C-alpha cells in the first residue's frame, strides 16, 4: 500500500527520498519560507497519511484539516512546533527521531567554538612563526 507523505521542508536527504520512492509513496514537499497557512491549505486538499515535520509549524488547524492523517514524525527531538495535543486528541501518534541530526549539531558547536575562541586565527599565527624582530640601532 502506498501513502501520501507531507514533508514540511523543500527536500529530504537523498537516502530518505530513495526510501520513500522505493515504497511507492507519494511525497509532497513544502517550499522554503512557506507559512503555516500554506501547510494548512495543502493538508485540506491532499489526502495526507503521514507528516515528516522539520521546522515549520503544524498548528491545530493544520492537523484538523488532515482528515486521513495517521502519524507525525519529527526530524529531531523537539516538538514545540507541533500541536501535539491536537494530534493526541485525534489519536495520531507523534514520534521524534533522537540523534538524527546529532552530527550536524556537533559540527555547529565545534564551528561556533572555533569562531568564538579565534582558533583559526591563532592557528595561522602559530604556523607563520614568530614575528620578525626589528634590528636595534
Give, for all 137 residues of the chain, the pLDDT tens digit. Answer: 899 999 999 988 899 899 999 999 999 999 988 888 999 999 999 999 999 998 889 999 999 999 999 999 998 778 999 999 999 999 999 999 887 778 888 898 999 998 888 888 888 888 988 877 777 66
Tell me the three-class secondary structure of the chain, residue by residue: CCCEEEECCCCCCHHHHHHHHHCCCEEEECCCCCCHHHHHHHHHHCCCCEEEECCCCECHHHHHHCCCCCEEEECCCCCCCECHHHHHHCCCCEEECCCCCHHHHHHHHHHHHHHHCCHHHHHHHHHHCCCCCCCCC
The whole model's pTM is what?
0.75
Amino acid at each position: 500500500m502506498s501513502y501520501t507523505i507531507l514533508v514540511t521542508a523543500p527536500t529530504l536527504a537523498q537516502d530518505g527520498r530513495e526510501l520513500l520512492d522505493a515504497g511507492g509513496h507519494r511525497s509532497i514537499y513544502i517550499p522554503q519560507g512557506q507559512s503555516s497557512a500554506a501547510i494548512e491549505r495543502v493538508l485540506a486538499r491532499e489526502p495526507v497519511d503521514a507528516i515528516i515535520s522539520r521546522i515549520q509549524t503544524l498548528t491545530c488547524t493544520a492537523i484538523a484539516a488532515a482528515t486521513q492523517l495517521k502519524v507525525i514524525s519529527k526530524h529531531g527531538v523537539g516538538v514545540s512546533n507541533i500541536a501535539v495535543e491536537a494530534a493526541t486528541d485525534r489519536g495520531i501518534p507523534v514520534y521524534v527521531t533522537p540523534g538524527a541530526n546529532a552530527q550536524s549539531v556537533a559540527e555547529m558547536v565545534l564551528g561556533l567554538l572555533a569562531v568564538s575562541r579565534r582558533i583559526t586565527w591563532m592557528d595561522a599565527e602559530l604556523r607563520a612563526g614568530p614575528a620578525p624582530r626589528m634590528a636595534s640601532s
